[in-house]
Amino acid sequence: MNAALPPPPIGLPVPSSWYCLGLGRDLPPGGLWRRSLAGRALVVVRTRSGQVGALDAHCPHLGADFTVGGTIEGDLLRCPFHGFCFDLSGACVSTPYGHKAPPAARAGTCSVIERHGLLLAWHGSQGEPPAFDIPDADMTGWTHWREHVFELRGHPQEVAENGVDFGHFAAIHGYDAVQATEPLQTDGPTLRAAYRFRRPRGLRGQGALDTEIAILQQGLGYALVEAHVTNLGVRTRQLVLALPLGDDRLQLRIALSVDHKLEPRRVHPLLAWLPGAWLAERLANRALQGYIEDVAQDLPIWQNKIHLSRPALAAGDGPIGPYRKWVRQFYPERP
């Protein structure tokens, strides 16, 4: 990117969707985070009893930042400035003065859910409540999530569009024999797509990886990719989690997990004696590095592209047109 000539604005507002704030394991009881969501500063808390909530980061009393010296007392958030305490609904429930809290001392809140190890917050483009849910996934028998976070100029719609941009799989990532195995399916906030391809780069110098993937996109901030490396018998789950920070800035969290149910001898004959769960944990570390490399190939495009509302689509691009129709539901009006 030329620092002297930055790219123009991407040209899209922030869509209504759930967005991942981080992994739940990183927010213990009594912990708090500072996060930005669509230009809004939030304090994300887990109470001593394990409840999770998100409030505006600044105290409505006199504007102190909850994340700088604020503490969790039981199920309440205590302001570091005057000691006013707030519950997860944003209501001030006590002050150090022994008087009734002023009615105006109410912090804005944001809906938060926890799904298969992720903490997700809802952003409504017009302030509306959550319009859909994120389906849970049973992670029993899978490795814990390995994650990596990028920060870049970008937009959730542009990131999610990669999942249907058939042509870029070969042009950017060098995949061979790319083929759609199911037609694009949409149902309300849910989009599904499935592909098979050959990834030329294997593990530890092995040959190509024959891979089948099934993409579940739920809104524009969450995607779960179920991948099966058929010639090795390895199954992975991959997450693509876009968090709009504001002003075209994007935090992109990717995460990966490997199914313990694998046959080590299929991965390599010399590994036949190893327990599958032990090998899965090691493969997860190596697979994450490959995942990071793949996503890094997309970064120069995202960092510098603009959104074209009327792209000159060509045969072979994939179902970008139907995808663009599907995304309209997440905006107050057609972008």
Same domain? For 156 and 303 the reply is: yes
What is the widest separation between alpha-carbon atoms in the chain? 73
List b or e across 232-266, with b for residues whose CB sees 16 or more CB atoms inside 10 angstroms. bbbbbbbbbbbbbbeebebbbbbbbbbbbebebee
Answer yes or no: are the C-beta atoms of 7 and 153 closer than 8 Å: yes
206: pLDDT confidence band, cut at 50, 70 and 90? low
Same domain? For 119 and 152 the reply is: no
Which CATH number belongs to the domain containing residue 176 in this structure?
3.90.380.10
Please check whether residue 173 lies inside any domain of the structure: yes
2: pLDDT confidence band, cut at 50, 70 and 90? low
274: pLDDT confidence band, cut at 50, 70 and 90? confident
334: pLDDT confidence band, cut at 50, 70 and 90? low
Please check whether residue 12 lies inside any domain of the structure: no
Cα separations (Å) of 287 from 227, 231, 254, 279, 296? 12, 15, 12, 12, 14
316: pLDDT confidence band, cut at 50, 70 and 90? confident
Same domain? For 173 and 232 the reply is: yes
- pLDDT tens per residue, range 155-204: 999 999 999 998 999 999 999 989 999 999 999 999 999 999 998 865 55
> Parallel, antiparallel, or unpaired for β 92-94 and 40-46?
unpaired
Cα separations (Å) of 120 from 20, 52, 312? 4, 10, 35
Mean pLDDT for 202-214 is 76
Same domain? For 322 and 181 the reply is: yes
Please check whether residue 111 lies inside any domain of the structure: yes
Same domain? For 72 and 191 the reply is: no
Alpha helices in the chain (DSSP H): 156-161, 168-171, 264-267, 276-304, 320-327
Strand partners, 182: 194
pLDDT recorded at residue 11: 87
pLDDT recorded at residue 5: 72
Mean pLDDT for 198-223 is 84
Domain residues for the domain of 91 are 17-123
CB neighbours of residue 115 within 10 Å: 18
The percent of residues in the chain predicted with pLDDT above 70, rounded, is 96
Mean pLDDT of the chain: 93
Which CATH number belongs to the domain containing residue 80 in this structure?
2.102.10.10
Same domain? For 326 and 177 the reply is: yes
Please check whether residue 130 lies inside any domain of the structure: no
Same domain? For 166 and 221 the reply is: yes
Q: Which of 85-89, 161-165, 235-239, 276-280 has the lowest mean pLDDT?
A: 276-280
- Of 169, 162, 234, the closest CA to residue 200 belongs to 169
pLDDT recorded at residue 335: 44
